[in-house]
Homo-oligomer: A and B are copies of this chain.
Amino acid sequence: MTASTPLTEQNLVVNGDRLNTNIERMAKVGRQPSGNISRLAFTPEALQARYLIQQWMIDAGMITRIDAAGNLIGTYAGTDEQALALATGSHIDTVPSGGKFDGVLGVLAGIEVVKTLHEQNRRLRHPLQVIAFTDEENTMIGCQAIAGTVLADDPDRYRSKAGIPIQDCLESIGGNWDAMESAGRSRANLAAFVELHVEQGAVLETTGKNIGVVQGVVGIRRKAITITGEANHAGTTPMGMRKDAMVAAAQVILAVQEIARAQPTQPVATVGYLRLTPNAVNIVPGRVELSVDMRDIYKDSLDEMLRLLEERVGAIAQQTQTTITTSPLLCVEPTLAAESVQAAIAQVCDQLGLSHHSMPSRAGHDSLEVGRITDMGMIFVPSQAGISHSDDEYTSPEQCTQGANVLLHTLLHLDRQYPC
């Protein structure tokens, strides 16, 4: 944009320098001598970060509040008093040794979008909210509260990483466990939610695309599988007389791969944990415990994979003369992104001359929960080498700015599109 270009919605852009400077400022909060960043929710570092965010929200023209789950919500008033809110945001807490983009980018880009509008004295028709969700990396209590999915009768599930009861955690940041329901949102007050996040995988880098248009956030089906064979002398037991639990396990592992690869929805499936007993060079394995983790954005596909897994496991047990039992470890339902929001993001990318790629989000996000109660969309920017949850996590300043501009224009697009 040159000085002579009239400032229209088409060429409105965020201040990339400011955004990236703020990312660096935030990276100093909780930085460890190792370089990793540690801002576990409810710690002094996380509180310091919240305070900074709150100041930046206020500087950008927002009014801030804290809901019962401790979510920090900044609201930039719209021109239509009756309009439902549009919202964006992400989280500012990190894993124990995290990087400087995961979560933070979405919050800071949301604030930068509002600041850009505020500087231009522009308002949307809809109120625009930026939400810094509570404890995404551990309990996900912030986004669950908004989605109304907190298990109110099981507070022990929501203890902090340090083991502090959730009631105390929430009180320390202005929340209130007993008023959790009051944090719930719905289509009645939230028209749509858009989250900008780093990919945390290498799909964009590998495909050479600027922006990921997220189709949905995967659900998870996780199973524990126990295979019981018969431990026996590895010398004196002929092949035909064995009940080798490891051979059965190998077949299960390959079946898991085949099942995932055969699904047209491109799920992932992993056997990441395996324990062998007695685990001795000269003994036929008697018992194997292993985990199966399957992820897809389509519930039907997850259910079909589980059905196929049970079928294959039954056949493998019979063929290897072992006993195989499966038990559920985790079941998280997926959330699809709204078609309308996906279309808006893709169209914005085309307008801005950015290449884009439709893809599932295979990591969990605040959007997973918020998408259960209203239209949701996610914008991904590339992660170098797919690395995240580490000091090596990297997205270039240019890529961060591109993401923020796509977020800005997507919100402008939705503001036009959604009725007030």
Chain A residues with CB under 8 Å of chain B are 199-203, 206, 218, 220, 222, 232-239, 241, 244, 246-247, 249-251, 253-254, 257, 260-261, 266, 268-276, 279-285, 291, 293, 295, 329, 362-364, 386, 388-389
Contact = CB atoms under 8 A, between A and B. Distances in A.
Contacts of A329: 281
A270 B284 contact: yes
A343 B270 CA distance: 55
B200 A234 contact: no
Contacts of A218: 235
26 contacts: A199-B236, A202-B241, A218-B235, A232-B386, A233-B362, A233-B388, A234-B270, A235-B362, A235-B364, A236-B388, A237-B268, A239-B260, A239-B266, A241-B386, A244-B270, A246-B274, A247-B271, A249-B253, A250-B251, A250-B253, A270-B283, A271-B285, A272-B282, A272-B284, A273-B281, A282-B293
A219 to B, nearest CB: 11
A240 B232 CA distance: 37
A58 B283 CA distance: 40
Contact of A237 (B236, B279, B386, B389): B386
Nearest to A222: B281
B273 A363 contact: no
Contacts of A261: 239
The 3 closest A-B pairs by CB, nearest first: A201-B236, A250-B250, A234-B270
Contact of A236 (B260, B273, B363): B363
Contact of A386 (B202, B236, B295): B236
A234 B281 contact: no
A285 B234 CA distance: 26
Nearest to A267: B239
Given A201-B237, A235-B363, 13 more contacts: A201-B236, A206-B241, A220-B235, A233-B362, A233-B363, A234-B293, A239-B261, A246-B274, A247-B257, A250-B251, A270-B283, A271-B285, A281-B293
A134 to B, nearest CB: 21
B273 A279 contact: yes
A281 B291 contact: yes
B201 A238 contact: yes
A269 B281 CA distance: 11
A280 B272 contact: yes
A273 B276 contact: yes
Q: Which residue, of A253, A254, A389, has the highest number of chain B Cβ atoms within 10 A?
A: A253
Nearest to A255: B250
Nearest to A247: B257
A281 B236 CA distance: 35
A296 to B, nearest CB: 11
Given A293-B234, A363-B233, A363-B236, A246 B260 contact: no
A283 B279 contact: no
Nearest to A218: B235
Contacts of A254: 247, 250-251, 254
A231 to B, nearest CB: 9
A234 B294 CA distance: 9
Nearest to A235: B362
A295 B234 CA distance: 9
Contacts of A232: 386
A74 B364 CA distance: 76
A202 B293 contact: no
Contacts of A220: 235
Contacts of A386: 232-233, 236-237, 241
A270 B245 CA distance: 11
